[in-house]
Each structure stands twice: as C-alpha cells, then as structure tokens.
Amino acid sequence: MKKLLLIATLSICSIVYSQTQTFYYTKKLKDLKTYVNNVYKSDSTIIKSYVKNSQNGKIYPLKTTDVYDEYGDMIYENIYQILEKDKKIVYIKQLLYYWAEGIPFNESSYEYYFDENKNLIGVKKSTFNSYGDFKDISYNIEYVLNNKLGKLEKTSNYYAKGDKIVDSKSKDVKIADKDGMIKNSIKFLNNITIRDLEGFMKKEKIKYYK
C-alpha cells in the first residue's frame, strides 16, 4: 500500500513538474510583455531607435520618431526599437514600411523578447489594416518557448482592436482585408526568420544571441 502511495505521489509530482516546465516561459513572457507595454506608456524615451537606409544599407540612430525631420528624404523600410532592463536587451521591435506615392506606411512589425539569460523566449509577428472609423484588424503569429521541448511553439489569430480574437470569416476581417491588404502580407510573416534580427545585431555590434 505504501509503495502504491509512493508511486502515485511521484506520478503527481512528475505531472506538476512537467506542466510547470511547459508553461515556465509563458508566464515569463507575459510578465515581460507587461513591462514593455508599461515602458511605452510611461517612459518611451529609454527605448533606443535605429533606422536602416534602404539605399546604402547603413543603420542610423534615431533621437525621435520623425525620420524625415532627422534625415530628410531618406528611403527606409526598417526601423528598430530596443529596450534594455538591468543593462541587458530584453526586447527588440522591427517596424516594416512600404512606400506609396513617396509616403512610408507601416503595415507589419516583428517583436522579439529575451530573458535575463539571453534566451529568445517569444516572438510576435503582426500585419494589420485600418478601415472605417479608425477600426483595426491585425493578423498575429506568436511564438513562445516551451522549456520542456526546448523549442518555440506557434499560434496564429486575427485580432480586432483591443486584442480581441475574431473569426477569420467575420465581416470585419473581410472588410479590413479588401484587395488582400492583410492576406497578401501573411506569407511574408512566415518567411521572415530570426536571421534578419541577427544580421541587424551584428551590424550594430549588439551582443549576439543564440
């Protein structure tokens, strides 16, 4: 009887430990996202920004959010935002732009989250479109590190403004995706990899993450 109780206890402990390992980074990522959001709301000045010149491939620091004011008619497709915590990079956001009639439009973004041990624990890739009275629909591909499996696990959904999940066949999604404004960008979200981030970090001599 004692042996059976011991086996049952060990089994329960094993299950609890397994679940804890599986969702370990889910909790860390949630806390980190809260920290990042609070910084953007309260003190965004501590976020370092860079812009990549599409014509010469060079990367320049940004003191403000106005590229034109700082660099004139520079043609760019990428802006990077970096946040440190305790002198360690914990967040990098890459904003992607396309140009129409000489005006840059931001349609996609890629967000990378790191823990204090330099592990990439989460990624969020988004493409979005606005329609009607400032209504937004976005398509997000998100990854979170599964500590037990040692790999990033993927989920994807459409969201309405306010992070509310909406059905891909809903009226709002169909309106926002008129002429493929969202769906045409989804394939590019799948194609962008961590190598793009690594290339940027190497050029900027930012510590290399593995």
Task: Judge whether 193 lies within some domain.
Answer: yes
Distance from C-alpha of 196 to C-alpha of 108, rounded to nearest angstrom: 14
Query: 177 or 79: whose pLDDT is higher?
Result: 79
The highest-confidence range among 37-41, 85-89, 125-129, 134-138, by mean pLDDT, is 37-41
Task: Judge whether 2 lies within some domain.
Answer: no
Task: Judge whether 14 lies within some domain.
Answer: no
84's tokens? 């440190």
CB 64 within 8 A of CB 57: no
Is pLDDT at 81 greater than 80 in this prediction?
yes
Question: pLDDT tens for residues 158-170?
Answer: 888 767 888 888 8
Amino acid 76: pLDDT: 87
CB 33 within 8 A of CB 83: no
Task: Judge whether 120 lies within some domain.
Answer: yes
Q: DSSP per residue over the chain, as a string?
A: -HHHHHHHHHHHHHHHHHHHHHHHHHHHHHHHHHHHHHHHHH-GGGSEEEEEETTT--EEEESSS-HHHHHTT--EEEEEEEEEETTEEEEEEEEEEEEETTEEEEEEEEEEEE-TTS-EEEEEEEEEEEETTTEEEEEEEEEEEETTTTEEEEEEEEEETTTEEE-TTSHHHHHHTGGGTTHHHHHHHHH--HHHHHHHHHHTTPPPP-
Query: 106 or 142: whose pLDDT is higher?
Result: 142
User: Which residues are registered as beta bridge partners of 109?
Assistant: 95, 126
Question: pLDDT tens for residues 113-157?
Answer: 998 887 888 989 888 776 665 567 888 888 898 888 778 888 888
Task: Judge whether 199 lies within some domain.
Answer: yes
CB 129 within 8 A of CB 144: no
Task: Judge whether 64 lies within some domain.
Answer: yes
Distance from C-alpha of 198 to C-alpha of 196, rounded to nearest angstrom: 5
Domain count, the chain: 1
96-137-114 Cα angle (round to 5): 50
Pairing of the two strands 76-85 and 120-131: unpaired
Q: How confident is the model at residue 105 (pLDDT cuts 50, 70, 90)?
A: confident
Q: What is the mean pLDDT of the chain?
A: 77
Question: What sign results for the dihedral spanned by CA atoms 47, 151, 27, 154?
Answer: positive
* Mean per-residue pLDDT, 193-197: 64
Q: Which of 136, 34, 161, 171 is nearest to 91 (CA)?
A: 34
Amino acid 201: pLDDT: 66
Amino acid 9: pLDDT: 41
Task: Judge whether 109 lies within some domain.
Answer: yes
Amino acid 8: pLDDT: 40
The residue range of the domain holding 167 is 25-203
Task: Judge whether 9 lies within some domain.
Answer: no
